[in-house]
Amino acid sequence: MASTLQFTVNNERWQSLRSTFPPTAVNAAMTGLERRAEKLWNPFRAFIGAQATASALLLLALLAALFMANSPLAETLEHLSHFELGFVVGGNTVTWSLLHLVNDGLISLFFFLIGLEVKRELLAGELKDTDRVKLLAGAALGGMAVPAILYATVNASMGGGVPHGWGIPMATDTAIAIGVLAALGSRVPKSVIAFLVGVAILDDIGAILVIALVYTETLHITPLLVAASLLLALILLNALGVRHPFGYTVLGVLIWAAIVQSGVHASIAGVVVAAAVPARPQVKAATLKRRVRDLVGRVSTRASAHDVLAEAETHERIVEVERVAQAATTPLRRWENGLELPVALIVLPLFAFLNAGIVIDRAAFDELASNPVSLGILAGLILGKPIGIVGGVWLSESLRWAKRPDDMNNRRLIGIGLLSGVGFTMSTFIAHLALGQGGDGLAVAKLAIVTASLVAAVAGYLALRMAADPR
């Protein structure tokens, strides 16, 4: 998930805010207890907003699931995955298992966040620069095609297997990959990090298309038409200038329900709804500056910090500043910033915890070394990703179609290619679609994904560390 890079941005935004409103100015309106609480809260806020925290939490969830699955707690993990949640409407009871709720419900928030980021990047980010997109497209296409081809080749040569599982090794788990880069610190230039994030965004787009076009087994037209009608209503809300999240939330949930009934996976609903989220402000920056200056100039400075709320006129002007500031931002940015922490700290770790509970024993590793599915995944992620990304960049440059950043030397490119083989979250998700929710095939596929991701993370870290400039 490329949005994980935003954690760094959020931390920088907080530091900028502190410089604009220094602690002495802010604390002047605080009680002694509030000031002490603020000193405790600030480090905690920085901690939960750090990219390393999100990556570590995802890794801890993965390790916890593996530990429980291979301990006397295995039955507890199984019961937890199938714990029923639901509600009663009239005489009807609607229930989901916790695993189903996460894999078909909460994961839609992850895809919604991806959709928001892709839209932002297309309109004003990495994907708006045509020259940069050419290089990213070459790398991403190679990084998706070669792993898929290697998987299909291994399965075809060995016979059996699951030929249509070629989508499993295509995508990169950006959360873990960026976490590895964070561990390298300043050894990796920002342009190299941006390159990985850009490739991951295009990876996400490719994975979404594969899910929609390849892993949709049955298609029911009526619910699909209902979803299309609701999407048109969302687009109309956008065109009318509606910015309140209520309408988008209600229609978004209805679109999700209709898409689930249509046979298309619920993850696509998140991307579809994100496409209709407003991406333009209602108030231009110049207007914001003028109106805020006027409003702030009329705020009474005679009122003390303790009676501002009791002074109606001053309070109304401050509320108006807030309204104007919100009108100058975009719902796309606000909702993206609002969702990134819950998705990174709750949804993805929960998904990892409920899906990574695989038994690791001698029989499992024997199966890993002989099963066409697992060998195809290992080949795709460990070999296919670096070969595809390096080959895509080389071909783009050979055709004079694109030029890589100055900081991206061959050693760093190889390191990024190796690191892109970390495919845990999206690969596991696609494995569920390709192989079904149970059975030995899914278990060995998960073990292959975890093994390949671990190898890729270590190999990428070592390659990038050795590629760093000597200090």
What is the rounded CA–CA span in Å between residue 241 and residue 388? 43
Q: Rounded to the nearest 5 degrees, what angle is found at the Cα of 176, between the Cα atoms of 173 and 178? A: 100
The predicted pLDDT at position 162 comes to 84
pLDDT in tens, 267-279: 888 888 999 999 8
**Mean pLDDT comparison of 139-153, 292-306, 325-339, highest-scoring range:** 139-153
Closest listed residue to residue 422, CA positions, set 376, 466, 380, 365 = 380
Are residues 414 and 296 both part of a single domain? no
The predicted pLDDT at position 85 comes to 85
Are residues 311 and 336 both part of a single domain? no
What is the rounded CA–CA span in Å between residue 8 and residue 462? 23
Are residues 349 and 300 both part of a single domain? no
**149 found inside a domain:** yes
Are residues 98 and 188 both part of a single domain? yes
Per-residue pLDDT for 21 more than 60? no
What is the rounded CA–CA span in Å between residue 279 and residue 284? 13
Averaged confidence pLDDT in the chain:
83
- What is the SS3 assignment for the chain? CHHHHHHHHHHHHHHHHHHHCCHHHHHCCCCHHHHHHHHHHHHHHHHHCCHHHHHHHHHHHHHHHHHHHCCCCHHHHHHHHCCEEEEEECCEEEEEEHHHHHHHHHHHHHHHHHHHHHHHHHHHCHHHCHHHHHHHHHHHHHHHHHHHHHHHHHHHHHCCCCHHHHHCCCCCCHHHHHHHHHHHHHHCCHHHHHHHHHHHHHHHHHHHHHHHHCCCCCCCHHHHHHHHHHHHHHHHHHHCCCCCHHHHHHHHHHHHHHHHHHCCCCHHHHHHHHHCCCCCCCCCHHHHHHHHHHHHHCCCCCCCCCCCCCCHHHHHHHHHHHHHHHHCCCHHHHHHHHHHHHHHHHHHHHHHHHHCCCCCCHHHHHHHCCCHHHHHHHHHHHHHHHHHHHHHHHHHHHCCCCCCCCCCCHHHHHHHHHHCCCCHHHHHHHHHHHHCCCCHHHHHHHHHHHHHHHHHHHHHHHHHHHHCCCC
The predicted pLDDT at position 250 comes to 94
Q: Of 336 and 93, which is predicted with more confidence?
A: 336
What is the rounded CA–CA span in Å between residue 323 and residue 300? 19
What is the rounded CA–CA span in Å between residue 427 and residue 132? 26
Q: Rounded to the nearest 5 degrees, what angle is found at the Cα of 326, between the Cα atoms of 323 and 331? A: 140
Are residues 376 and 445 both part of a single domain? yes
Tokens found for residue 355: 């899906």
**292 found inside a domain:** yes
The predicted pLDDT at position 471 comes to 46
In this structure, how many other beta carbons lie within 10 angstroms of the beta carbon of residue 186? 9
- Range with the poorest average pLDDT among 21-30, 35-44, 423-432: 21-30
Range of the domain at 290: 285-326
For residue 28, the cross-strand partners are none
Question: CA gyration radius for the chain?
Answer: 24
Per-residue pLDDT for 371 more than 80? yes
Closest listed residue to residue 468, CA positions, set 187, 277, 144 = 187
What is the rounded CA–CA span in Å between residue 248 and residue 233? 9
123-127-131-137 Cα dihedral, nearest 10 degrees: -150
309: pLDDT confidence band, cut at 50, 70 and 90?
A: low
The predicted pLDDT at position 297 comes to 78
- Please give the model's pTM, rounded to 2 decimal places: 0.80
For residue 263, the one-letter residue type is G
| Domains of the chain: total | 2
CATH code, 158 = 1.20.1530.10
- % the chain with pLDDT above 70: 85
Are residues 289 and 169 both part of a single domain? no
Are residues 314 and 209 both part of a single domain? no
pLDDT in tens, 229-263: 999 999 999 999 888 889 999 999 999 999 988 88
For residue 446, the one-letter residue type is K
Exposure b/e, 451-471, CB count within 10 A at least 16 = b: bbbebbbebbbebbeebbeee
**229 found inside a domain:** no
Per-residue pLDDT for 470 more than 60? no
- % the chain with pLDDT above 90: 35
What CA–CA distances, in Å, run from 416 to 139, 261, 412, 455, 460? Answer: 11, 40, 6, 13, 6
The predicted pLDDT at position 294 comes to 83
211 and 430 Cβ atoms separated by less than 8 Å: yes
**244 found inside a domain:** no
Tokens found for residue 449: 């994904």
374-376-381-383 Cα dihedral, nearest 10 degrees: 130
pLDDT in tens, 90-136: 777 878 889 888 988 898 899 999 889 888 888 887 777 787 888 99
**98 found inside a domain:** yes
Are residues 13 and 105 both part of a single domain? yes
**253 found inside a domain:** no
The predicted pLDDT at position 405 comes to 82
Are residues 164 and 36 both part of a single domain? yes
Are residues 311 and 363 both part of a single domain? no
**241 found inside a domain:** no
Per-residue pLDDT for 77 more than 80? yes
287 and 281 Cβ atoms separated by less than 8 Å: no
Are residues 105 and 201 both part of a single domain? yes
Per-residue pLDDT for 6 more than 60? no
The predicted pLDDT at position 19 comes to 46
The predicted pLDDT at position 18 comes to 46
Per-residue pLDDT for 439 more than 70? no
329: pLDDT confidence band, cut at 50, 70 and 90?
A: confident
The predicted pLDDT at position 3 comes to 45
Looking at the chain, how many residues does it have? 471
Tokens found for residue 322: 């807030």
Give CA 426 to chain center in angstroms.
10
The predicted pLDDT at position 380 comes to 96
Q: Of 11 and 54, which is predicted with more confidence?
A: 54
The predicted pLDDT at position 441 comes to 83
- Range with the poorest average pLDDT among 270-279, 299-308, 446-455: 299-308
Are residues 212 and 301 both part of a single domain? no
The predicted pLDDT at position 145 comes to 96
The predicted pLDDT at position 7 comes to 42
**454 found inside a domain:** yes
Tokens found for residue 339: 């969702």
